[in-house]
Amino acid sequence: RDKARVIPFGLPLERFEPNPGVLQRAAELRQLHAKPGQTAFLNIGRLVGYKGQRHAIEALPGVPSAVLWLAGTGPLEADLRQLAATTGVAARVRFLGNVPDSDLPAILHACDVFLFPSITPNEAFGLVLVEAMACRKPLVACHLRSGVTYVCRGGDNGLLVPPGEPGALAGAMGTLVASPDLRAELAARGAERARTEFSSGAIIARHLELFAELGAGSRGA
């Protein structure tokens, strides 16, 4: 382990800056998919079992002022639509389909909270969490034995809950609905963490530092 150096994934976060075009599109999406007074929780991902969207739907009855946006398609879409109907929340679940890549910054800016209910370590990291952080969004994620908890630090830039527990998920969602100040605090720390830990510039600098260290060690050998 003492010979290992971890350098995480990095992203060109500049594309998520809130420029006028992005903010105008975000306002359009917000008006289209949320009513006034609703807190919008966004999930982006394939509609498959390990992504845990069913638990987000099951949590929704406990958060009556929340609306859930599901961006993505997959084999479970019909089942999830049926679940939303049987749990009485179909009117508060928006199936957005495959959001064009050009709309990704806008849909992230349009939501209030990014929801990441994946339930197994198949979710190894979650680059979309970094994208949401760059858009100054607080996170709700599950405590997994994977890189997810490296990106989302409970109490720092988001809230972590046990996987597969809709009640715990509803509790975290309700906490953020009730506290805009907490949302803002988590979002600000997340944006700073995205910049310093996961931006392309930060990752390039870490690689260059490592190469320089290795080169110095080689010359001294």
| pLDDT at residue 61 is higher than 80 | yes
Closest to 187 in 3D by CA, of 135, 143, 140 = 135
Closest CA to 94 of 44, 23, 27: 44
Closest CA to 13 of 215, 154, 198, 213: 198
- Tell me: the pLDDT tens digits for 161-202? 999 999 999 999 999 999 999 999 999 999 999 999 999 999
- Predicted pLDDT at 5: 87
- The SS3 call for residue 188 is helix
Q: Give the mean pLDDT of 71-82.
A: 98
Q: Does 221 score more than 60 pLDDT?
A: no
What does the pLDDT read at residue 220? 61
Mean pLDDT in the chain? 95
More confident residue, 59 or 6: 59
From the centroid of its chain, how far is CA 69? Answer: 12
How do residues 93-119 score in pLDDT, each as one tens digit? 999 999 999 999 999 999 999 999 999
Average pLDDT over residues 131-156: 96
DSSP 8-state code for residue 76? T
What does the alpha-carbon distance between residue 130 and residue 96 come to, in Å, rounded to a whole number? 21
The model carries a pTM of: 0.94
- Is pLDDT above 80 for 219? no
- Please say whether the dihedral angle defined by the alpha carbons of residues 165, 166, 169 and 175, taken in this order, is positive or negative: negative
Closest C-alpha to 84, from 107, 98, 66: 66
Radius of gyration of the chain measured on its C-alpha atoms: 19
The pLDDT value given to residue 2: 86
Residue of higher predicted confidence among 10 and 183? 183
Percent of the chain with pLDDT over 70: 98
In this predicted model, what pLDDT tens digit does every residue of 81-92 receive, in sequence order? 999 999 999 999
At residue 91, what is the residue type? A
pLDDT value of position 16: 96
Dist. CA 157–CA 182, nearest whole Å: 10
DSSP element (H, E) containing 183: helix 180-193
